[in-house]
Amino acid sequence: MTTTRKLATALMAGGIMFAPLAAMAQEWDLPMAYSASNFHSVTGVEFGDCVTTGTGGDITITVHPGGSLFKGGDIKRAVQTGQVQLGERLLSGHQNENAIFGYDSVPFLATSFDASDALYAAAKPALEAALAEQNLTLLYAVPWPAQGLYFRDEVTSVADMQGIKFRSYNSATARLAELTGMLPVSIEAAEISQAFTTGVADSMISSAATGYDRKVWESLGYFYDVQAWLPRNYMIINSDIWNETSEANQNVITACANMAEYAGTWRAKEYTGFTLQGLRDGGMTVSPPSDQMRSDLEAIGATMTAEWLEATGDQGQSIVDAFMASQ
Ligand code: PCA
């Protein structure tokens, strides 16, 4: 029973008059995994404020960035089980539950913001169905900038990567490590700086944005702008909570979500150039991969694409077909 219902039941038992349920103010907690200054968090705070204002205070949203309420890996479960009402999560981190969640981390399938939007549009029905099976409703999604490879020392081919300790953030990144002969270790973004300083990891694949946020130039020297894929963060709400929300407030939330998706995507684009320059200013060498590294990685990408299609079957194939047809 929700707190609101418990309260309503208690009031009724006491024969006390009370305001209609829809008018009762609700406080919602919104956990996010990345640092408060990261553009996803800024967008999430704006979304929360929009809902608070737009519902006239019926729903007040408090954002908890930086993994302070739940760590990234725990946010989805917390929303599913109703420990919190809503939250933001990198869904590709849950590809082991449903391979569809990994659609945005297939190497070299969609490598630009426009292509990423088209792929998201193609995948959205299947993604929403997968989320619905887990009692989750999708509100909005915002891409990260394209993923590139970070190393402590210079690397010019996959052969140079053998045995390097590699920070992974989902099963696609762990698989990439395996296929390149590196040693994957799963580390949340909030713990990256420490992992590099202490030598727990010496490389990773991520956006310039995350390297910039975590000041990785203090430990690492090279960023290769491989543009492998653009994963997304997804704002999800517990479906019971969503269904109990009045239609008027649902409309406000949807409008705020649409604005957040637009503003967040715009910020991701702006942040790309800014953070690439930030890595340079921090002293890192930022360059495209060598021809050898690119062709080595493309071969690995082909293997990973085949594996994802194998895991998702007809559903995955129809996402890829719809995406290709749109290009
Ligand atoms: N940053 C996140 C996921 C993708 C990205 O660019 C991270 O490294 O955890």
**CA-closest residue to ligand 1 atom 8:** 206
Q: Hey, what are 268's tokens? A: 């991701």
The pLDDT of residue 7 is above 90: no
Cα-to-chain-centroid distance, residue 178:
22
The pLDDT of residue 6 is above 60: no
What residue ranges line ligand 1, CB within 6 angstroms?
A: 90, 144, 169, 189, 206-207, 209-210, 231
Q: Which CATH superfamily is domain 3-143+232-274 in?
A: Bacterial extracellular solute-binding protein, family 7 (3.40.190.170)
Q: Which CATH superfamily is domain 148-228+284-326 in?
A: Bacterial extracellular solute-binding protein, family 7 (3.40.190.170)
Stated pTM of the model: 0.92
**CA-closest residue to ligand 1 atom 4:** 206
pLDDT of residue 23: 58
pLDDT of residue 12: 47
- 148-151 and 222-224: which strand pairing? antiparallel
The pLDDT of residue 95 is above 50: yes
First to last CA, the chain: 48
Cα 265 to middle of ligand 1, angstroms? 15
Would you say 26 and 59 are in contact if contact means Cβ atoms under 8 Å apart? Answer: yes
Cα 233 to middle of ligand 1, angstroms? 9
Cα 144 to middle of ligand 1, angstroms? 7
Q: Give start-end residues of each CATH 3.40.190.170 domain in the chain.
A: 3-143+232-274, 148-228+284-326
Cα 52 to middle of ligand 1, angstroms? 28
Q: What mean pLDDT is reported for the chain?
A: 94
The pLDDT of residue 228 is above 80: yes
Taking the C-alpha atoms of residue 30 and residue 51, their distance in angstroms, rounded to an integer, is 12
Cα 37 to middle of ligand 1, angstroms? 14
The per-residue pLDDT for range 249-308, each reduced to its tens digit, is 999 999 999 999 999 999 999 999 999 999 999 999 999 999 999 999 999 999 999 999
Count of beta carbons in the 10 Å neighbourhood of residue 327:
9
pLDDT of residue 8: 46
pLDDT of residue 24: 79
**Mutation test of ligand 1: which of 32, 90, 205 has the most ligand atoms closer than 8 Å to its C-beta?**
90
**Mutation test of ligand 1: which of 92, 169, 187, 275 has the most ligand atoms closer than 8 Å to its C-beta?**
169
